[in-house]
A and B are shown apart, each in its own frame.
Chain A
């Protein structure tokens, strides 16, 4: 009885007793959820157009952020460094398409997945070799991101929103809108969607596979750079960032591998729920750091009821 009360009643009593704290927790969860969603978005873009499960998305985030910081510390102004990083990500996309993907066209999914893990290791080693392994400070001020914080007092309590987090959320929303507009209304974007719907049909109307792959990896690179700036401004730039790539996996599974909506909804859901679970259940009852596994277990439970994820394409099996 006592145990049941601690699990089912006490956490909600805590929430009601301190609504301002609950809001703070939700906000924190929302911000990390936005970042998960961004990474998952990079995954989905690549998966839709090439069925490649791109494990390297996480290290691309680190690599983009490191390049940006590295170029800036070499004396370049922030905006030129930003453009330079975009160029580097474009070259990376071209090289990956040419060297890794093209020879592996048509191989089973798991082989391509392993190849992206190989790319990950290569970038980890290369990044540490060029930029060094230590933690770096993101150049948020030079990029013109506001600092400071907004304070609110809901229900006579206290709620603190970091200006940087607000920028991150607004920036992410703007980017997602831009991306959806690009996919929906531009010629290239339609080609990407066509390739996602039906490979053969897309090829037969003259869509170039390799152009689209480079484009998609470049888009993923841009998203990686944005994610790197956003996450780096909160926690600094280091190789520890890679672990958030692993967090993107349950986000994807939860949302469905093919769905952009799924990536966003899944990211926000996991960000918020894992924070709430950690604060109200994990720390008092389970000894903390439940964030390490909560996302995976949640995704697993959802998949048991919807094997294709919340927004995935229905799996039709034929013999």
Chain B
């Protein structure tokens, strides 16, 4: 009923392959965008901005980046955290070296540095495959975090060894640093993430995306049909690390406000990997569903005992949270190994026929 597709005829191949072949999808996205751009920012509290909205956007972007590499091109990466770090440190250096630089430009440029690092550590992917490749990204993970700690130039030799986001204004409004308002930060992140997500969707639908999928499904076969493996894999590493790097810059500049090297440790890599896998590998929508789940879950679990009226010490809640997250990961993998995105696809399929069984 709600999702009835009858009457929507496609007369050309082009319109059948359009981004939204079904009108209701576009309508749904319109509602979501309306929420994201108008209703949520008008109604959210500072707490909601800081613990839910901004982190969901940033994690979704990071997971999108990882998904390009792992979901579309089939190369396992365990170094996402470190590549986010490269983006964050590059953005910090750009802003402190050139204070008059526009922040949008700085954030977009910082992704290039992490893309470079990604390509460098992606080079072994031509020889090393599967789980063995995880070691290349793990090497990046541990080496880069060590470098953030030892290379004083990166954090301007300050005594704490951490980077502190300075106040940055754009068009007379403080957008980053202690002076910025939550709303300004939210809109900045939202705009960038929206644009980058759109670019990614179109990349994965195009020539590039098809060559990645061919490499993922079977790389030797892909080579035989004329795909340059080295090029396709390195492009995947570059695009993926670019998105992850931008996410890292946003992570520090618009959410954390300060960062020390340990923030980018392997736990962060795993968190992003969870998001991508629980959401669904090889799906852009999945990153958003996964990010919402992983970000919102601890918040819900922390406040849930109060609603029920239970009085539990906060450390107990913390431990139980970790257990529940672990159990939920296993649960979701068993229920739907292809992630939440597949779950939504099934629901949508049902909705199209509803209320008829076939």
Contact = CB atoms under 8 A, between A and B. Distances in A.
Do A and B assemble together?
yes
A53 B277 CA distance: 16
Interface in A295-319: 296-297, 299-300, 303-304, 307-309, 315, 317-319
Residue in B139, B145, B319, B324 whose Cβ sees the most chain A Cβ within 10 Å: B139
Contact of A109 (B131, B146, B281): B131
B350 interface: no
Contacts of B329: 114-115, 117-118, 121
B347 interface: no
Nearest to A298: B139
B343 interface: no
B97 interface: no
B125 to A, nearest CB: 11
A302 to B, nearest CB: 9
B277 A118 contact: no
B138 A249 contact: yes
Contacts of B315: 133
Interface stretch (B28-36, B50-58, B266-274): B266-274
B interface: dominant SS: helix
Given A129-B323, A300-B135, A114 B333 contact: yes
A308 B135 CA distance: 12
Interface stretch (B86-94, B111-119, B163-171, B216-224): B216-224
Interface in B195-214: none
A31 to B, nearest CB: 22
A248 B280 CA distance: 28
Interface residues of A, number: 50
A35 B279 CA distance: 36
Contact of A125 (B132, B134, B274, B319): B319
Contacts of B316: 129
Given A122-B326, A300-B124, A293 B337 contact: no
A124 interface: yes
A303 B321 CA distance: 38
Contacts of A99: 330
B320 interface: yes
A104 B334 contact: yes
B192 to A, nearest CB: 29
Residue in B130, B224, B334 whose Cβ sees the most chain A Cβ within 10 Å: B334
Contact of A307 (B129, B142, B320): B129
B44 interface: no
Contacts of B220: 317-319
A249 B323 contact: no
A128 B129 contact: no
Interface in A215-261: 246, 249-250, 253, 257
A303 B150 contact: no
B134 A115 contact: no
Contacts of B138: 246, 249-250, 296
Nearest to B333: A115
A224 B53 CA distance: 41
Given A53-B131, A117-B270, A125-B319, A100 B330 contact: yes
Interface of B: 70, 76, 124, 127-132, 134-136, 138-139, 141-143, 145-146, 149-150, 218, 220-221, 224, 266, 270, 273-274, 277, 281, 315-316, 319-330, 333-334, 337
27 contacts: A99-B330, A107-B337, A110-B70, A111-B337, A114-B274, A114-B277, A115-B329, A118-B327, A118-B328, A125-B320, A125-B323, A125-B325, A125-B326, A129-B323, A246-B138, A250-B138, A253-B134, A253-B135, A289-B149, A296-B139, A299-B135, A300-B136, A300-B139, A303-B128, A304-B127, A318-B220, A319-B220
**5 nearest A-B pairs in the assembled complex, by CB-CB distance:** A121-B326, A125-B322, A125-B323, A122-B326, A118-B329
